[in-house]
Structure 1
């Protein structure tokens, strides 16, 4: 059951515990933001803090505060939190450091953090080791330092573990209204997902941005994804750092492909959130989502009065996922009438400067680009720092297009400093999104197009795993039980019995040494053998046990299908171009288990070798149903063995026009 954070987020009384500069700053920040509730400083020796009457003890307060800023040393903080919980306070911000983040320097820090959580009981505690929270909607700033927030009527919520990054984000000058800021610190009790769930209850929140250092409590994140989608509030995630993934041995290619960040990216996509990679894009994406919401598609248009800018837009968007649909005949007619015969018509469009200063003609041309199936139209305009009168036509045209079409329009300055704030404010008032920097604008639009419904079904949470490796034969036998197709085969201990064991198998044959990782590199694989060549081939390769298999001859493509245990995110399913060149090609996609059949198909379509699977240049394609069945069989094995499994890998899975055959397999797991 999520904790009730309503009193902490919307207090009518705030206790400020401590007498240092930090606590005085909290009192002043509350006053500066216009907090109209009670402010109760608590200090054993001072009569006043920042001009407010001080109380000697918490027990002397007129009542239980809705929120408290605990600005004293870490041991005193534990004691104060205990008193606050006992008196029925609504919640507390624990400012002190020296808890779990200091474990390397102080072996008792983790125990102290556990004592803080125990002292709080059911009372919500933000932190420790955090600055607190700002509610700019209601004038609440339980915050001991500077910030850039001002009162707003509606806006976005930003959550981060870093207090310093929070300060920087509040001081943005991009026209983004910030409604809430919460710094989460060590998250001893309250997680980011739990806080975000509480913020969703406020209908004035238009989007949520989360700066994440690491995921935990995956069920809370799944609950947030469902609630955010149901309420139409998009979530943007800036994920930094490398989560601690299972330390898979180098015997598998999957472990190499599914790096430390792969699980996090797969989780964010599964939750339907938009992931970005830097603060510029984080802010621009939040602003775009605040003003127009998630984009309907990835189809965009771009207009500028420079061929260089048109080319730069096309190049900047390359690989972003955005598409520039070609112009329709109807668009060409309108644009031709407005621009004349000297302008080459395309998307992105360079409309030259023939109609510059004619706001009506500019709006007509831009409006022609803004058709119903275009999710966002960019207009590239760089404003000078002074004497901007001649650029007012571009502002008027953008506002006119927005008013006439009702479609999303953004004015983009190619350099952030070339979007003046007075122009940005005017654009915002008319519903046009001002965007600061071409690259950030493109990436923000791509992020806004990725917001989606969360995928169905809960994640499978992994157990402890283990280091017991099943040899190829045993691994295949285990996977066959879940529906995987493998070649007809025989296992032989004595080379003298190879020919007899293979009597029922059809040539050509494959001979392998059993129990060796990377068999090709070890010289433990021989292909295309006849029955009478098996014994000699066995004498020339390492190993004491041998696997004989019928060779799969009509393969269209070789894939890797692997799953690794990721303690932070679940089980990561990776599909890649397979065979001996897997790590050289680095053509892979990853999703989390369980992945639906549709999600697996979409992942396959994201591979560079996807055209080969479909039938390249008239060649045969693979049996997609058999391929999806093979991936489903691997997932079924994972689901049945989640408590003990560390990794499973099929490489290669040879895909033919009629089968998907696991030619090699590896499983690493622990004991039940």
Structure 2
């Protein structure tokens, strides 16, 4: 159900329930200059900070747009039910002790069900939620201090942690924040639904998500599609990358790929820019607000220090930034202005010969900006005003802003240390249309993120294949059964036979072409147990190999050996806790974990995506023909991967994990020599 959050997010009347926490909300509303109606409900007080109190909910003079409910969890349900019945616009439920605490406090799940039922169609944030900050309309429905100020436009942040949200409001980086909304435990309204509602405000320039979990994947898909359609970039931090509580797995795939890989693949697929730190999160949002996604990777770095120029180049090494060289005419113009001592290169160290000559600095900077760089970055650290006199640096500020006005280029100023750019100078630059980045490493990461944002596809991807919710036991298909199941979807495998004894094995092997491979049946990781013998040339050697394995297995699988292999590839699909299916492609064989050469996609994956990711692997050079060696049949390899994907999609109701390892690529085909499938029991 889609709920209308507009009254809750942009209220004209607010009712508050509770004691100290509600008092704090009133204090914040008065401090921010909220000019709507404030109705505290408290039978024990005559007023709250000069605002008259009402004795009960029955005394409300009208139907409130928004509510802050700061009472205990049982009373919260009663208040929510009354507000819903009267048609209120929405509520923030501050109390904890619901589903999020079920492990410690019995009854939390039941209370949450009652809360959802009581709310009905009325949207609620939380429970266990601080509420929202709307700095565009001076709405601070928030029971604690915060660091934001009134804005005309800015970014919206949705956080699944109220404390992290508070920390973000305290930033001193010049980021204009329009909204901060805490999602709490998302009993009814999830983070994706909140973010989707915030997209509707034209004053919001970009969305930031701090996620502890993804929740409703379809809701996240819907939000991402609407963000694409509106051209509003989205940046996310997804925590939990270091989760060690990974269940025991049967396949190499499941041990290599985890929720972090699935989460990253999900965000990438939906066009959401993933970053890892709060600093980069804030810097990226600021750059996207001020400039937007960058159309390309061509960056020019400008500083008056060789050290800054070198450090900028070093820290950008391995990133997506491209320090394109100056055009010939541009080099000549810069040389004429800067003199024979200055080397004209990108990154540019223009020395200090022109420092203090604002008109000349403006000409140099305009010359740099006149070239078609996707972004021009000025490295500039300002003196601290409490111990120094920063007025001598005003020439650089004025020259950069003047050059920006003359050329209308995309321009940013980057302080190598975050603390070396004050609010005063940040404000001047931002007012002049110049983005300000705090910290060299953080700034470079933000620039790379903006480059990535500019490369995002405008069309929404196909809906994800989602797993059915299942519980209970699961079973592993034998290698032979796994291969047979996959062959029905077009996957090629060697001719093989199964036998229950050495004599039966020798008899059945007469129909196969040597050399062959012998495997013991019954263990997932056969190589480690000594249950694989390769390149067996004849019947007597086959008999000897089988007798050597008899102590560890009573069943054998013999198959024709796939010769002429160019590379061994792993193809795995795992059901992720998010409910998606993660496709892992990588270097296969016995060295899979050692090489850890893998990439991840989510199902469905297209032929184009699969081929691009395979070529991007370190073994991609082998696949394309390395040092004169023949190339693998890439089309056949992709066909094989797609066959495996088709099986997974068709069995998404039961599939737990699937692995083909190795899938041997050859000049004319790709053939699966080992496979494992685990399905939930019907």
Q: Tell whether the structures are fold-level matches, with TM greater than 0.5.
A: yes
Deviations 1:527-574 (A, max 9, x none): 121232211111112422222222222222211110110131401111
Report if the CA contact (8 A) 2:338-2:353 is conserved. yes
- Tell me the residue number matched to 2:105: 106
Question: Cα distance, 1:490 vs. partner?
Answer: 2.5
Question: Cα distance, 1:640 vs. partner?
Answer: 0.4
Counterpart pick for 1:620 among 630, 641, 656:
630
- Tell me the residue number matched to 2:151: 152
Report if the CA contact (8 A) 2:330-2:371 is conserved. no
1:671 aligns with 2:676: no
Report if the CA contact (8 A) 2:464-2:604 is conserved. yes
Q: Which runs of 5+ in 1 are unaligned?
A: none
- Tell me the residue number matched to 1:14: 14
Deviations 1:339-398 (A, max 9, x none): 344334433233333333344544454455547653322211111113223323322332
1:534 aligns with 2:542: yes
Counterpart pick for 2:613 among 587, 603, 614:
603
Q: How far apart are the structure 2 equivalents of 1:336 and 1:499? A: 83
- Tell me the residue number matched to 2:274: 275
1:303 aligns with 2:302: yes
Query: Structure 1 residues 407 and 616 mapped into 2: Cα distance closer, same or farther (>3 Å)?
Result: farther
1:567 aligns with 2:569: no
Deviations 1:597-621 (A, max 9, x none): 2222232233233222222233322
Q: How far apart are the structure 1 equivalents of 2:489 and 2:362? A: 61
Deviations 1:186-238 (A, max 9, x none): 11111000011111111110001111011110000000000000001111101
- Tell me the residue number matched to 1:521: 528
- Tell me the residue number matched to 2:222: 223
1:439 aligns with 2:441: yes
Number of residue-to-residue matches in the alignment: 671
1:457 aligns with 2:467: no
> Which deviates more from structure 2 when the two are superposed, residues 139-148 or residues 389-398?
389-398
Query: Structure 1 residues 214 and 243 mapped into 2: Cα distance closer, same or farther (>3 Å)?
Result: farther
Q: How far apart are the structure 1 equivalents of 2:277 and 2:103? A: 29
Q: How far apart are the structure 2 equivalents of 1:558 and 1:617? A: 18
Secondary structure class of the residue paired with 1:322: coil
Deviations 1:455-500 (A, max 9, x none): 5111111122752111211111111111112123222333224344
1:648 aligns with 2:658: yes
Query: Structure 1 residues 366 and 628 mapped into 2: Cα distance closer, same or farther (>3 Å)?
Result: farther
Deviations 1:128-155 (A, max 9, x none): 1111111111121111111122221111
Secondary structure class of the residue paired with 2:562: coil
Deviations 1:416-456 (A, max 9, x none): 11112211111111111111000110111122222224651
> Which deviates more from structure 2 when the two are superposed, residues 507-516 or residues 280-289?
507-516
Map of 1:320-339 to 2, 5 A cutoff? Answer: 320-339=319-338
Map of 1:152-171 to 2, 5 A cutoff? Answer: 152-171=151-170
Report if the CA contact (8 A) 2:575-2:581 is conserved. yes
Q: How far apart are the structure 1 equivalents of 2:579 and 2:323? A: 35
- Tell me the residue number matched to 2:647: 637
Report if the CA contact (8 A) 2:270-2:461 is conserved. no
Question: Cα distance, 1:120 vs. partner?
Answer: 0.6
Question: Cα distance, 1:336 vs. partner?
Answer: 3.4
Report if the CA contact (8 A) 1:487-1:662 is conserved. yes
TM-score, structure 2 as length reference: 0.94
1:481 aligns with 2:471: no
> Which deviates more from structure 2 when the two are superposed, residues 482-491 or residues 590-599?
482-491
Deviations 1:236-274 (A, max 9, x none): 101112598996533311111112311111111111001
Query: Structure 1 residues 589 and 328 mapped into 2: Cα distance closer, same or farther (>3 Å)?
Result: farther
Query: Structure 1 residues 45 and 326 mapped into 2: Cα distance closer, same or farther (>3 Å)?
Result: same
Query: Structure 1 residues 140 and 554 mapped into 2: Cα distance closer, same or farther (>3 Å)?
Result: same
- Tell me the residue number matched to 1:85: 84
RMSD of aligned C-alpha atoms?
2.1
Deviations 1:259-304 (A, max 9, x none): 2311111111111001111111111011001011112233322222
Query: Structure 1 residues 302 and 8 mapped into 2: Cα distance closer, same or farther (>3 Å)?
Result: same
Report if the CA contact (8 A) 2:228-2:460 is conserved. no
> Which deviates more from structure 2 when the two are superposed, residues 658-667 or residues 382-391?
382-391
Q: How far apart are the structure 2 equivalents of 1:379 and 1:634? A: 50
Question: Cα distance, 1:328 vs. partner?
Answer: 4.4
Map of 1:490-501 to 2, 5 A cutoff? Answer: 490-501=497-508
Question: Cα distance, 1:54 vs. partner?
Answer: 1.2
Report if the CA contact (8 A) 2:312-2:440 is conserved. yes
